Amino acid sequence: MNPRPSGNEVIIVSVCFNSSGVLPAMLASAPPGVPVVLVDNASADAAAIEKIAAAHGAQLIRNTRNRGFGAACNQGAAAADSEFILFLNPDATLAPGAVEALVGAAARYPKAVAMNPRIEDGRSRPRFKHYSVLLPFAARLPRGWPPADCEVPVLTGSALFVRRADFEAVGGFDPAIFLFHEDDDLSLRLKDERGPLMFIRDALVRHQGGRSSARSPEVAALKAWHMGQSRVYAARKHGRPLAFSRALASALAQAASPFAWFSRRKRAKQLAFLKGVMKYRG
């Protein structure tokens, strides 16, 4: 068995934005003795989040404005000293033994700097980041979970386990990326500057996906706008060719899809994505 991590080994950091509906399950899944830091990005349900944090003994950092996912993750990481940090979405839950399995994997793979557990969605289907727009097509992996622990080219931020020393050495998340592709960017910097990224098969996290904040046309548009501008910014940062042109082509194709026009939420999302891409047209 893997040893139970003590408080100074692992800290869980979770960024909240109107997340009171999903937070209790995530907090209840945290192993006893593992501190949790919640960073609230000016949620409309901030009072409810404060009560939930107090009920579960979690530390709460409250921002008066939405600072973005990466910047809030950096705040949470700086709130406590630990050997490892687990960035965990508020709509995710840890299976029993998941944190212990990640700590054990870090001991087995001392050169690995960051890891993803095996992640499944609400229907027990595999969720695995097998590609990134910041990487060439040849770097894509097969869909579905790898059959065993292995190195991977990129990690997803929904459940990202990282050695603090390596996270701090690369400067943490890029605060210029408000939302989306911040995990791809961090992954590539960690891999290029510090060491391998790993998939850990025995550690399981369940991630609902898209439930961290309320679902509405307004929230969808906010997220999509940031997705558009982050895609171009991050692709240019990592030297991807035709960063703007490829993002624009994707945005136009999505906006032209007839399926988008049957849903107010989808219309708002696709239009906002196009506007976000156009921010970097120069």
What is the structure's pLDDT at 194? 98
pLDDT band at 261 (very low <50, low <70, confident <90, very high): low
pLDDT in tens, 64-119: 999 999 999 999 999 989 999 999 999 999 999 999 999 999 999 999 999 999 99
pLDDT in tens, 110-149: 999 999 999 999 999 999 999 999 999 999 999 999 999 9
Domain ranges (residues) in the chain: 10-207, 217-278
Taken as a whole, the chain contains a residue count of 282
- Number of Cβ within a 10 Å radius of residue 281: 10
Query: Considering all CA atoms of the chain, what is the largest pairwise distance in Å, rounded to the nearest integer?
Result: 55
Instruction: Identify whether the C-beta of residue 27 lies closer than 8 Å to the C-beta of residue 93.
Output: no
Q: What is the average pLDDT across 144-172?
A: 98
pLDDT in tens, 3-44: 555 457 999 999 999 999 999 999 999 999 999 999 999 999
CATH number of 10-207: 3.90.550.10
- Report which residue type is found at 74: N
Q: What is the 3 state secondary structure string of 92-151?
A: EEECCCHHHHHHHHHHHCCCCCEEEEEEECCCCCEECCCCCCCCCHHHCCCCCCCCCCEE
Nearest to 100 by CA among 25, 208, 194, 200: 200
CA 226 vs. chain centroid, Å, equals 14
What is the structure's pLDDT at 218? 81
Q: Which residues, 6 or more positions from 2, have their beta carbon under 8 angstroms from its beta carbon?
A: 97, 100, 101, 103, 104
What are the distances in angstroms from CA 184 to CA 152, 187, 189, 235?
Answer: 12, 5, 9, 10
Task: Return d(Cα 13, Cα 30) in angstroms, integer.
Answer: 11
- Report which residue type is found at 194: R
Q: Is 224 helix (H, G, I), strand (E, B) or coil?
A: helix
- Report which residue type is found at 226: H
List the end-to-end C-alpha distance of the chain, in Å, as a whole number. Answer: 55
CA 36 vs. chain centroid, Å, equals 16
What is the structure's pLDDT at 1? 44
Task: Return d(Cα 55, Cα 50) in angstroms, integer.
Answer: 9
Task: Return d(Cα 47, Cα 87) in angstroms, integer.
Answer: 23
What is the structure's pLDDT at 260? 63
DSSP 213: S
Nearest to 10 by CA among 208, 129, 161, 182: 161
What is the structure's pLDDT at 213? 56
Q: What is the pTM of this model?
A: 0.91
| Average pLDDT of the chain to the nearest whole number | 92
pLDDT in tens, 185-238: 999 999 999 999 999 999 999 998 765 555 677 888 888 888 999 999 999 999
- Report which residue type is found at 261: W
Task: Return d(Cα 5, Cα 140) in angstroms, integer.
Answer: 34
Ordered alpha helix ranges (H), the chain: 23-29, 46-56, 69-77, 98-108, 164-169, 182-193, 217-237, 243-256, 264-278
Structure tokens at 151: 């190195």
- pLDDT above 90 (res 61): yes
DSSP 138: G
Nearest to 41 by CA among 161, 178, 162, 157: 178
